[in-house]
């Protein structure tokens, strides 16, 4: 069997907790529209983890279009990035994997490259971690998957590992013949990830250490 050399990690929801940021953007949009929030933070995140689409939360098509535009324009601004939190275990796991000899890649679909690297610097990402960044053309899951696949394809070998919290991550890994590991620390619950039939579903990235060390 090919020796595993590379491990690819999704960023948001896998290494970084972005739940507060997502809800703040939603709340500010609703406020801008002059409406009361449709959902509490708990219900909003519960819907996201169930895989609910934006169209299921905004029935009016014009409002949906305004929300998606507002989301894309604001989600990577510093006023919202300040709500991101690195999971307490993320850096420890990345550094340990590097010591074990694995090459680490972080794969993200963030659009603002400048703010992306400001944030990874703020969180103290190891210099040895390679950041793969690219932006999907449209706002949907298929485009996310296709963009991630293009980013990863140049660097991966069969049986390397893809770790992430969304459908796009699992589809990317499977499409490239990789070992896929779904984590429950992000925006999808167990039932959503199970449908993609990843090789493993774990609570968070700490389980990678026990598998490989």
What number of other Cβ atoms are within 10 A of residue 83's Cβ? 15
Please state the rounded mean pLDDT for residues 66-73: 94
The string of pLDDT tens digits covering residues 191-213 is: 999 999 999 999 999 999 887 75
Domain ends where: 81, 103, 131?
Answer: 81
Query: Count of domains in the chain?
Result: 2
Together in a domain, 75 and 97 = no
Please state the rounded mean pLDDT for residues 124-137: 90
d(CA 70, CA 92): 35
CB 19 within 8 A of CB 84: no
Q: Give me the phi and psi of 191, to 5 degrees please.
A: -60, -35
Together in a domain, 11 and 24 = no
Highest mean pLDDT among 36-40, 116-120, 133-137: 116-120
Together in a domain, 173 and 105 = yes
The string of pLDDT tens digits covering residues 148-165 is: 999 999 998 878 999 999
| pLDDT at position 153 | 94
Paired with 9 in beta bridges are 106, 163
Please state the rounded mean pLDDT for residues 133-151: 82
Within-domain flag for 61:
yes
Domain ends where: 81, 111, 128?
Answer: 81
- The residue range of the domain holding 191 is 6-17+85-212
| pLDDT at position 130 | 96
Together in a domain, 71 and 109 = no
Residue 142 has pLDDT above 90, yes or no: no
Together in a domain, 117 and 183 = yes
d(CA 162, CA 150): 14
| pLDDT at position 159 | 81
Residue 172 has pLDDT above 50, yes or no: yes
d(CA 46, CA 52): 9
CATH classification of the domain holding 110: 3.40.50.1000
Together in a domain, 93 and 155 = yes
Within-domain flag for 91:
yes
Domain ends where: 53, 81, 109?
Answer: 81
Three-state DSSP at 72 gives helix
Together in a domain, 67 and 89 = no
Residue 1 has pLDDT above 50, yes or no: no
Residue 59 has pLDDT above 90, yes or no: no
Together in a domain, 136 and 189 = yes
Please state the rounded mean pLDDT for residues 184-189: 96
CB 207 within 8 A of CB 190: no
Together in a domain, 126 and 32 = no
Residue 38 has pLDDT above 70, yes or no: yes
| pLDDT at position 213 | 57
Together in a domain, 44 and 115 = no
Together in a domain, 111 and 204 = yes
| pLDDT at position 56 | 87
In the chain, how many H helices and how many E strands? 11, 8
Three-state DSSP at 8 gives strand
Percent of the chain with pLDDT over 90: 83
Within-domain flag for 1:
no
Together in a domain, 72 and 120 = no
């Amino acid at each position: 069997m090919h020796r595993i050399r590379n491990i690819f990690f999704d960023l948001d929801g896998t290494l970084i907790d972005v739940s507060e940021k997502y809800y703040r953007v939603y709340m500010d949009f609703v406020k801008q529209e002059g409406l009361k929030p449709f959902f509490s933070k708990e219900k909003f995140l519960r819907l996201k983890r169930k895989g609910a689409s934006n169209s299921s939360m905004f029935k009016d098509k014009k409002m949906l279009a305004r929300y998606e535009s507002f989301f894309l324009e604001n989600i990577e601004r510093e006023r919202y990035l300040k709500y991101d939190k690195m999971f307490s275990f993320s850096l420890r796991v990345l550094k340990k994997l590097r010591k074990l000899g694995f090459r680490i890649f972080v794969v993200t679909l963030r659009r603002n490259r400048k703010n992306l690297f400001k944030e990874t610097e703020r969180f103290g990402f190891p210099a040895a971690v390679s950041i793969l960044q690219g932006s999907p053309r449209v706002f949907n899951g298929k485009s996310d998957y296709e963009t991630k696949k293009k980013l990863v394809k140049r660097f991966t070998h069969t049986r390397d590992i893809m770790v992430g919290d969304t459908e796009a991550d699992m589809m990317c890994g499977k499409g490239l013949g990789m070992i896929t590991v779904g984590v429950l620390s992000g925006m999808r619950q167990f039932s959503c990830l199970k449908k993609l039939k990843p090789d493993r579903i774990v609570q968070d990235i700490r389980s990678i250490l026990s598998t490989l060390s």
